[in-house]
Homo-oligomer: A and B are copies of this chain.
């Protein structure tokens, strides 16, 4: 057992992982303070901007360290859907009733086997206030409903079903209402959200340092977080935080080593949802001062096979030629189930009527005149797909889906050849993903150690934390920006008034 040789091999390999040291710097070792503010925020994405606005409004001086050359983070890159409910002005104007109790039921169910009930409850309780806050920042929401199944409306319409609210089995347990709210912008609204919030941050007088990459937290002799050591275009800098540091530095989908060790299923993802800063730096800094983590094994994956929504009238089958999900489920839920199938194999079977041009990058695996030929073309077991289609058709004719309860409007017998199979398989389809685990925090943003003590002076929000969404099978679009901004605001206010 040549221990010595293994040790040296390993140590060398470990140096290449890019998982940087996160041990805090002791304040006694800080050569000088280049900046001083009540609150120092690491990262100017959705969470950081919301935290900064609240902290400024609570009277605190705020310094924001953004590693990119401009703020925005992953929120700016996103579609910009925000999860609100319980009777928002948009829901009401569009004729939807939404009881907060039903929204809470949904959130608890969607969060998986281990929801943060307090965070869910607060989020629901304050949802209308949070919606009004967005409007007060200058973000407009059209009083309109977008009825189609999509990942993100291309119009400037606002309200949509952005998750599994109206699909089985969620609709059985909680009364459905659409809760995705997109600002009034044609197409993606993430950039407008961030331009608006950053504009507000500037108006309120926060100091924004761009190209400023946080290196480590600074702690005093009691272990209280009192600042951040960062580099500004490579030059070492030291910022003192008189009241607290808020980590809003994103998740870790860009850090392959961390993904491999905590969420190995995300190694199947071929589009990392995030920005290059999502390398786990914030989580690692938190760990360095004793923070605990939560749900680090959870990750969102998606197989975004729609729009167009007519594709939802197709059926998805696995390598056994069997269906395994209601095709009208949210694309994230579908992605989670695709990963669970043997060999990660899944095909969307379409007839000529429900066929539509799929999004760029999707591949047609086979196209044939009959289902029998398609079965052979896909090398599915003899009689498997033909049975699945004939069974599906028999009930679809009556508007029923006894297996998976797909909604009636998508139930159309597949009888008009030719037929095609879109490849939704792992390694073939577009499979975007992001991490869901992170630092353990109180609803107030206070970071907790593994043994549930507060790390004094440290706060966190957004994807750096384990927030509202924490189950791939239950995620809805809008939970990320909704949770990041809501709990970012709370963190900003808590830190400012410490």
Residues of A at under 8 Å CB distance from B?
Answer: 1, 3, 6-7, 9-11, 14-15, 17, 19-23, 112-114, 118, 122, 126, 169, 260-265, 267-268, 284, 287-288, 290, 292, 294-298, 320-324, 337, 340, 342-343, 381-384, 387, 391, 394, 402-404, 437, 440, 442-444, 446, 448, 450-454, 490, 493-494, 497
Contact = CB atoms under 8 A, between A and B. Distances in A.
Contacts of A22: 450-451
This chain: copies in complex = 2
A19 B451 contact: yes
Contacts of A381: 402-403
Given A384-B403, A402-B382, A15 B452 contact: yes
6 contacts: A3-B444, A3-B493, A10-B118, A14-B448, A19-B451, A114-B267
A358 to B, nearest CB: 26
A451 B294 contact: no
Nearest to A320: B403
A297 B297 contact: yes
Contacts of A23: 290
Nearest to A267: B113
Contacts of A21: 451, 453
Nearest to A168: B342
Contacts of A450: 19, 22, 284, 287-288
A446 B6 CA distance: 11
Contacts of A402: 381-382, 384
B264 A114 contact: yes
Given A21-B451, A383-B391, A444 B113 contact: no
B294 A297 contact: no
